Amino acid sequence: MEPIQHQMMGYDRAITMFSPDGRLLQVEYAKRTVRLGNTAIGIVCKDGVILVTDKRLVDKLVVPDSIEKIFKIDDHIMATAAGILSDARVLVERAQLKAQQHRVEFDSPIDNLAIVKDICNLKQLTTQSGGYRPFGVALLIAGIDENGISLFETDPTGLFYQYKAAVIGEGEADAEEMLHKEYDENMTMEDGLKLAIKLLKKVLNSNFKAERIDAAMIPVSTMKMKKVSKEKIEKLIK
């Protein structure tokens, strides 16, 4: 077995090199990084879309309100991430710029899918070009445009899927199981927030507390992103 292990080690030195069994090992390592990230949940509801995530406070001296885990791409599009958040910041800033350029050029808001495809094109590029490493981050991108409400998940390979509800990060397996059982297409955003908080409570167990939760929503009525207040989160927890 030992010679085989040494042989396999050579195939994770470069992103452009396939292993004999057809795997890109650096990409697989990037996916593992995502599974170590903070838990993030997206839910499409009948009256809008929500994102809820764990801020994961690493130090009791850190000011909770200073940690931002849900990002505004445009008024009608938001995103959250699991994995290497510095990678996420680069992708989010790219998306923000593209959304701004679209408004200037076409005098209209960009659609969600265009943002998702642009991010995934860059992610895919880094899986086939020498000198790069894959982005070690998965993104949930939620929004409302002329095509309706949508929630997309992108992975480190540049692959994306549209979901009704999705979970990424360390609690993915447990939370996803509950999501399959309890998600209802007719639930309101209020119901969705309660469900997402319930999922985080299960994942975090004794570490669960209101100040660890970051949540935002985009209602159909306004099509504008707004953060959920700490007071509302505390009320939903009780």
Kindly report the CATH number assigned to the domain that includes residue 128. Answer: 3.60.20.10
Range of the domain at 165: 24-55+67-229
131: left (phi over 0), alpha (psi -120 to 50) or beta: left
Q: What is the pLDDT of residue 157?
A: 95
Q: Using CB atoms within 10 A of its CB, is residue 80 exposed (0-12), middle (13-18) or buried (19+)?
A: buried
8, part of any domain? no
Q: Give the C-alpha separation, 136 to 114, whole Å.
A: 21
Yes or no: say if 187 and 171 are a contact pair by the CB < 8 Å rule: no
Q: What is the pLDDT of residue 221?
A: 96
Yes or no: say if 192 and 31 are a contact pair by the CB < 8 Å rule: no
Spell out the residues 6+ positions from residue 227 whose beta carbon is closer than 8 angstroms to its own: 70, 214, 215, 216
What are 151's two structure tokens?
């929630």
Residue 55's CB: how many other CB atoms inside 10 A? 19
Chain mean position to CA 235: 25
Alpha carbon separation from 157 to 83, 175, 195 (Å, rounded): 13, 23, 29
74, part of any domain? yes
171, part of any domain? yes
What are 179's two structure tokens?
């999501």
Which residues of the chain register pLDDT less than 70?
1-9
- Strands, sheet with 148-154, edge to edge from the N-terminal-most edge strand: 70-74, 77-83, 137-145, 148-154, 160-162
1, part of any domain? no
Phi, psi (rounded to 5 degrees) for 168: -130, 160
5, part of any domain? no
- Strands, sheet with 40-45, edge to edge from the N-terminal-most edge strand: 165-168, 40-45, 48-54, 213-219, 226-227
The domain total for the chain is 1
112, part of any domain? yes
Q: What is the pLDDT of residue 219?
A: 98
159, part of any domain? yes
DSSP code at position 164: S
Q: What is the pLDDT of residue 9?
A: 62
Assessment of whether the complete model's pTM goes beyond 0.85: yes
10, part of any domain? no
Angle at the Cα of 187 from the Cα atoms of 216 and 111, rounded to 5 degrees: 50
Q: What is the pLDDT of residue 70?
A: 96
**pLDDT tens digit sequence for 21-47:** 888 889 999 999 999 999 999 999 999
User: In sequence order, which ranges of the chain are alpha helices (DSSP H)?
Assistant: 2-9, 25-35, 85-106, 112-125, 172-182, 189-204, 230-237
